[in-house]
Structure 1
Amino acid sequence: MSRRPSLARLLATVLVAVLAALSATAGPASADALSDRRKAAEQQAAANQKAHDQLAASLEDINANLAQAVLDLQTVEQRLPAAQTELQEAAATLERSQREAAIIAARLQDAKDQETAIGTTIAADADKSAQIRVAIGQMAREAYKGGGGVSSVSIVLDAQSTEDFIQQYGLVATALRTQSQSLDALRQIEAQDRNNEARLVAIRERVTELKAEADQKVVEADQARQAAADRKAEIEQLVAQQAEKKATIETEKAATEAEQARIDAEAAQVAAELAQIIAAQRAALEAAAKAKGKKVAAAGPIGNSLFANPTSVNPIYVTSEYGMRMHPILHYVRLHAGIDLRTYCNTPIYAGRAGTVQWAQMRFGFGNQVMVDHGFVNGNSLMSSYNHMTSFVVRAGQKVNQGTLLGYSGNTGTSGACHLHFEVYVNGATVNPRPLLGL
């Protein structure tokens, strides 16, 4: 008596341990898989965004319509592989659902066949049981009519001869054996009937479950079929958009080449104007120095961290660096003469250093441009320009301090999106603004 409870407790302990182990392995594994998929999706989204930002930064020198077509083409080509993968997954899901539906349908039909067979068996057993009961009833009535039971003594006394005795005794024995066999058969049929009834209940429950599973597989197949149709339609649309964007880009190439020529000419004009201004300033310095019997000192190092953040985004966020880069449409290398700083449309642009506004005007390519002259720093002419602005609030000749509002950021000129293209000129030539901003 003492061993059973201890054995039960042992089995319960083992069961709990097994369930805990299963939950400890299956749960985290499933969670890890979900986490991995989410992480991969986030990484892909980040990579797509980075590629988008890099492309957008390289589109500064083309018109907005062409820039948008290039960006749209990139978006389409980034989406296409994912849509094709999703189509394959949806097709695989549909195939799996249809295959599982066929298996369930076969199981359902088998269960229905078993239900029919068991029902037929129960009906046949009921008929047999009824026949046996009728036979037993007849034997009971015959025995009652004969005065009840027949004893061995009455058989001896009533027998007319030995043969008569043997015959009567055989008849009685046969009747009793038949009655006993009939009762045994009835009990066996009733036991089989109870078993078949239990099986029938179980089969009917299974039929109900399989019908539910079959209905669910129909829903899953319909969903997978719709998902596949949606992805196929999306892919067709993406391919059409891809062709459309490529055609737009090809159409705009000639206009872009013409724009590049105008941009280069405008940059040369700015350089020439700055050269004239610097020449005049140096001549004035030399004249003033000569009047005092002195010489103008030779230019020295320009130094770093000369400018404050000219945007309202803090800390400064550089979206495109200074230097040579490949043109995304015309496929030749050209100088990106400044750095692009992240701003948002119509956000404030400030003077990075005190100086005098040389001009505030619209210039092709640069858009609305404010040029600020910061005078001479260690013998070097220092100027800065703020480009693509929506509008400016200063005028030529105006004195500004570091942090003075110059205007508002925008997308004027040949620009793909709202940003600040910031340039620094040392002795009339552009230099990398990054170290001068303390970056």
Structure 2
Amino acid sequence: MRSTPRSALLAFTLTFALLAALAGPSLAESQDDLERKKNATNSEINGAQQSYDESSKAAADAAAVLQASQAQLAEAQSALGSVRGQLVAAQALDAQMQVKLAQSEADLAKVESDLAAGEQQVEASTDDVIAFTVETLQDPGAGLRTFNELVNGADPTEFTEQVAINNTIADSQLSKLDTLDATRVMLDLNEQKVQALRDQVQVERDEAAANLANITVLEQQATEQEASVAQLVQANSANKSAADAAVAADAADIAALEAERNRLQAEIQAEIARNTPPPSSGGGGGGGGGGGGKLSYPLDSIRITSPYGYRIHPISGARRLHSGMDFGSGCGTPIKAPADGTVRERYFSSSYGNRVILNNGTINGVNIVTTYNHMTRSVVSPGQRVARGQVIGYVGTTGLSTGCHLHWEVLVNGSFANPASWVG
């Protein structure tokens, strides 16, 4: 029997329905599997991010301890340098005192020698004067005898010579008496000088002893400072080793986590490529067209405090990718959905704080997911549909945060992208 156009159309419709029935469960299963993989990927990425932040925080804490130890070490070394400077000055002063003391002791020795010589001279002069005095007392009439001899006919010349001799002897004795008096005066002065020098030497010896005692104290202080510095160096070395170990572990963790992230992202991208239809002229899901201008800003007031890109993390101090855009705003400022979408997840993370992940669907042939972090609270639930401009939560400072702000991320086919390329 020849088929009619009506029967042929019916047969085609049944065949298509059968094929659709056979293909339908497989396609739905693939989409469900993709969603499960993407959710698992996001969970692992969140865990990796949390582990990275915690590891970086540990490294930052170790670095802070190391910095404090180095500051203490610098202070101890400065104090040690000051003490050693005082020690050098004290030793120089002691050397000067020893030279001065040696000179004073030499002066004292000379004066004492002069004093001894003067005492001997006084003793000799005293003996001469005593002998002359005794002789005079024993023969008081020597002058009268000479005059009597002249009266009795002695030679006048002899008389004159004898008188001259007697006068010379008398003058000599008077001179010895004068010298004796002068020597006694000088002896008294030398005795006074010796006493003054002895007093000066004693003072200088006392000063030298005090300075030596000061040097001993300074040496003890220097020794204690050296011990303190040695302990600080040891603590510094231990802290540095701990910091290096933390940084090495952190780097290893980051490398492993990034490798896992890349693997999961590659898998997600492959799944999306297999299950995403070619783009049409009108776009789909969240809109059509190119990159910029497809999302609204999540806050009414736009004040970007940290753009997307590599930076020094404000908490950990490590250089890392800032995977989103930070908006500075007061806590409690409403956060709005930048496009229609579905709430995929809402949870609390030690690093991200209160967090919402929003699937904004397909925009220009690519899958767009946006995340909202550090919120004080959210007002949506997983699975809930939201419209562009709808409030999904409020700005906060939960998790690892230095102040009230919104950390906003845009993921394109599972990979972080610069949010500035997707807003207009």
TM-score with structure 1 length normalisation? 0.51
**Alpha-carbon shift at residue 169 of structure 1 (Å):** 2.0
2:61 paired with 1:73: no
2:190 paired with 1:207: no
**Aligned to 1:351, which of 314, 318, 331?**
331
Q: For residues 253 and 103 of structure 2, what CA distance do their matches in structure 1 show?
A: 77
Relative to structure 1, the CA distance from residue 154 to residue 218 in structure 2 (aligned partners, 3 Å threshold; closer, same or farther) is same
1:203 is matched by which residue type in structure 2? L
Q: Which residue of 1 aligns with 2:320?
A: 334
Q: Which residue of 2 aligns with 1:386?
A: 374
Give the alignment's Cα RMSD to 1 decimal: 5.6
Q: Give the 5 Å matches for 1:1-400.
A: 62-77=55-70, 87=80, 90-91=83-84, 93-140=86-133, 142-143=135-136, 146-147=139-140, 155-159=146-150, 161-162=154-155, 165-166=159-160, 168-252=162-246, 253-255=248-250, 257-258=252-253, 306=301, 323-325=309-311, 334-336=320-322, 351=331, 353-355=333-335, 362-364=348-350, 366=351, 368-369=353-354, 385-386=373-374, 396=379
Relative to structure 1, the CA distance from residue 179 to residue 257 in structure 2 (aligned partners, 3 Å threshold; closer, same or farther) is same
Q: Aligned with 1:386: secondary structure?
A: strand
Count residues with an aligned counterpart.
313
- On the 8 A contact 2:62/2:239 being kept in 1, the answer is yes
Q: Aligned with 2:55: secondary structure?
A: coil
1:334 is matched by which residue type in structure 2? R
Q: For residues 133 and 308 of structure 2, what CA distance do their matches in structure 1 show?
A: 116
**Alpha-carbon shift at residue 210 of structure 1 (Å):** 2.0
Give the fraction of aligned pairs with identical amino acids, expressed as a percent.
18
Relative to structure 1, the CA distance from residue 256 to residue 157 in structure 2 (aligned partners, 3 Å threshold; closer, same or farther) is same
**Alpha-carbon shift at residue 96 of structure 1 (Å):** 4.8
**Alpha-carbon shift at residue 148 of structure 1 (Å):** 8.7
Relative to structure 1, the CA distance from residue 158 to residue 259 in structure 2 (aligned partners, 3 Å threshold; closer, same or farther) is same
Q: For residues 209 and 226 of structure 1, what CA distance do their matches in structure 2 show?
A: 26
Q: Which residue of 2 aligns with 1:55?
A: none
Flag structure 1 segments of 5+ consecutive residues without an equivalent.
Answer: 1-58, 273-282, 287-297, 309-317, 342-348, 374-380, 433-439
Q: Aligned with 2:59: secondary structure?
A: helix
Flag structure 2 segments of 5+ consecutive residues without an equivalent.
Answer: 1-51, 269-283, 288-292, 338-342, 359-368, 382-389, 412-416
Q: For residues 308 and 95 of structure 2, what CA distance do their matches in structure 1 show?
A: 64
- On the 8 A contact 2:326/2:407 being kept in 1, the answer is no
1:324 is matched by which residue type in structure 2? Y
- On the 8 A contact 1:369/1:386 being kept in 2, the answer is yes
Q: For residues 201 and 361 of structure 1, what CA distance do their matches in structure 2 show?
A: 97
Q: For residues 300 and 181 of structure 2, what CA distance do their matches in structure 1 show?
A: 106
- On the 8 A contact 1:339/1:422 being kept in 2, the answer is no
Greater displacement, 206-215 / 161-170: 161-170
1:386 is matched by which residue type in structure 2? H
TM-score with structure 2 length normalisation? 0.52
Q: Deviations over 1:13-36 (max 9, x none)?
A: xxxxxxxxxxxxxxxxxxxxxxxx
**Alpha-carbon shift at residue 174 of structure 1 (Å):** 3.2
Q: Deviations over 1:273-315 (max 9, x none)?
A: xxxxxxxxxx9999xxxxxxxxxxx67996999379xxxxxxx
Relative to structure 1, the CA distance from residue 264 to residue 226 in structure 2 (aligned partners, 3 Å threshold; closer, same or farther) is farther
**Alpha-carbon shift at residue 422 of structure 1 (Å):** 4.0
Q: Which has the higher Rg, Structure 1 or Structure 2?
A: 2
